[in-house]
Structure 1
Amino acid sequence: MTLLPYPSLQKPARFWLACLTVLLLIPGLAYAHPHGWIDMRVRLILDDQGRLEGLHQSWRMDPFYSLIILEELGLAEGEGGLEAGLDQLGGEIRQNLAPHDYFTELQVGGEKLALGEVTEYTVMERGGRVEFIFMLPLETPQPLSDRTLYYKVFDPTYYLEVVHEAEGNTPLDDALVVTGELRCSTRIVPADPDPERVMEAAMLDITDEAEPGLGRYFAETGEVTCD
C-alpha cells in the first residue's frame, strides 16, 4: 500500500483529482518515483542521565502538496477556520503513520529500538508550506554515552522522498541536533542506492505502488556518536 501521510483518506474526489493534475503538470514527475518530498529536521532529546528519550521531528511538505492541502482545507473551511482544519489534519497524519512506526527506524549497537506512541504533535502553515511537528518517544529511554545511534526516516514505498533540510547538497546546521549534557558528534550520510534499485524506482509510474521497503535504499542516515 502506498501511504500518503498527510491527506485524509476521506477527502472528496476533487482532492485526488487535484493531486493527479498537479503531478501530471510537473515535468518528469508522473513517470518516476518519488512523487513528492519532505524536508526534515531532527532533534534528539536526552534526559539528565544521558539517555535518549525520543526524536523531535519537523517535516515540511513540498510546495506542490502543501498548495493542494491548503486549498482543500480552504474549500472545506468551517467552524474554526484553517487552524481547526490543520488540527484535524494532524490527527489524520498521526493515525496514518502509527502502523508504520512513523516512517522511522533507530538502531544502537546493531539492535533496532522500539518506539512509543506519538501523543504530542501539531500541524502548521509556514512560508506557504504545511509542516507536521511531532515528538516520537522511545518505548524505553536508551543510554547514548560511548555509543552510536543510527536512524533512517523514509516512506517504505518511496512515493515520498524524505531528506534533511539542506542548502544545495549541504545539510543545514539545525537539520540534526542533540540536546543534553553529553558531547555528541553528528553527521548525515547521503543515500547510495544500488543502480538496480534506481532503475526499479525509475520504472514506477504514478499508478504503480512499489513493494514496501524500496524507500529504505534511498534514505539518508543520521549518525550520532556521544562521549
Structure 2
Amino acid sequence: MLLSLPVAVQAHPHGWIDLRMRLVLDDQGRLEALHQSWSMDPFYSLVILEELGHAAGEDSLEAGLDQLGAEIRDNLSGHGYFTELHVDDQPVSFEEVSEYTVLERDGRVQFVFLLPLSQPLEFAEHTLRYQVFDPSYYLEMVHEAQDDAPAPGALVVAGDRQCDTRILPADPNPERIMEAAMLDVDDQAQPGLGRHFAETGEVTCQ
C-alpha cells in the first residue's frame, strides 16, 4: 500500500518503520501540525534504493527520491496518512500534506512530512493521543528506540510549553497475533489489523 515494492519475506509485517513525532504549535501555543519522520528499515530501504537505481538511468537518485515522495504522499492521502489523533477521545481532522521530502540517510530511506490540522487546537489540560499505523499491518510502525525504550527524540513538543509525554506499547491479544502470523505475502489482512499493533503517543500540557 505504501510503496508497492516487492519484499521477499513471509507473514505480516513485511518490514518496519521507525517513527519520530514532533508536535508543532502556533504562537498562541495551539497545536497546528504533526511533523513526522519515517525511517524505513535497512532491508526495505535497500530494496527501494536498488529499484530507484535501476529505474533512474541518467537521472539522479535525488530526482528518484523526489518522485517517490510524491507517490508516497498521494498513496497515503486516501488513508489519513496512517495517522489517527484524538483529544479526550474526540477525533481530530487533518488537511492535505503539501510539505514533504524523501531522503537517504545512513543507508535508510526517510519520508519526512508536515501533517497540518484542519484548524489550530488548544489542548491545554486535555489529553492528546495519537497512533500511526499501516491498517493492513504490511508494515509495522514503531517509535524510534534506544536501549529497548523510546528514544529521547521519538516524541517531542516544539517550543517551551510544559508538557508530559509518553509512548505506550501495543498490547494485541493472542488472536490478533495469530491472525498476523498466519498471513503470508499474498494474503489480504482484515481492515484495521494494524491498529491492534500500534503504539500510542500521549501528551498532556499545562
Normalised by the size of structure 1, how large is the TM-score? Answer: 0.88
DSSP-derived class of the 2:141 partner: strand
Tell me, in whole angstroms, the C-alpha distance in 1 between the residues paired with 2:115 and 2:188.
27
* Cα distance between partner residues in 1 of 2:33 and 2:130: 12
Q: Distance in 2 between matches of 1:45 and 1:143?
A: 12
Distance 2:88 2:136 in 1: 27
Q: For the structure 1 residues 121 and 187, does the alpha-carbon distance in structure 2 shift closer, same or farther, using more than 3 Å as the test?
A: same
Structure 2 residue 178 is the aligned partner of structure 1 residue 196? no
Instruction: Give the alignment's Cα RMSD to 1 decimal.
Output: 1.2
Partner residue, 1:112: 91
Q: Give the C-alpha shift of residue 50 in structure 1.
A: 1.4
Q: How far, CA to CA, are the matches of 1:100 and 1:200 in structure 2?
A: 22
Q: Per the alignment, in what secondary structure is the counterpart of residue 76 of structure 2?
A: helix
Query: What is the aligned partner in structure 2 of residue 55 from structure 1?
Result: 34
Alignment gaps of 5+ in structure 1 = 8-14, 24-29
| 1:126 and 2:123 matched | no
C-alpha distance in 1 between matches for 2:14 and 2:146: 21
Deviations 1:96-127 (A, max 9, x none): 00000000000002110001110000000000
Counterpart for residue 27 of structure 1: none
1:205 partner SS: coil
Offset of residue 79 of structure 1 = 4.6
Instruction: Write the mapping of 1:206-225 to structure 2, written as runs, cut at 5 A.
Output: 206-225=185-204
Contact 1:47 1:180 in 2 (8 A): no
Tell me the distance in 2 between the aligned counterparts of 1:80 and 1:225.
47
TM-score (norm 2): 0.96
AA aligned opposite 1:35: H
- Give distance in 2, aligned partners of 1:115 and 1:169: 32
Aligned length: 206
1:4-51 superposed Cα distances (whole Å, 9 cap, x missing partner): x134xxxxxxx64xx33xx2xxxxxx1x21111000100000112111
Deviant stretches of 4+, over 2 Å: none
Structure 1: which amino acid aligns with 2:191? P
Mapping for residues 1-227 of structure 1, pairs under 5 Å:
3=1, 5-7=2-4, 16=6, 19-20=7-8, 23=9, 30=10, 32-227=11-206
Other structure's SS at 2:119 match: strand
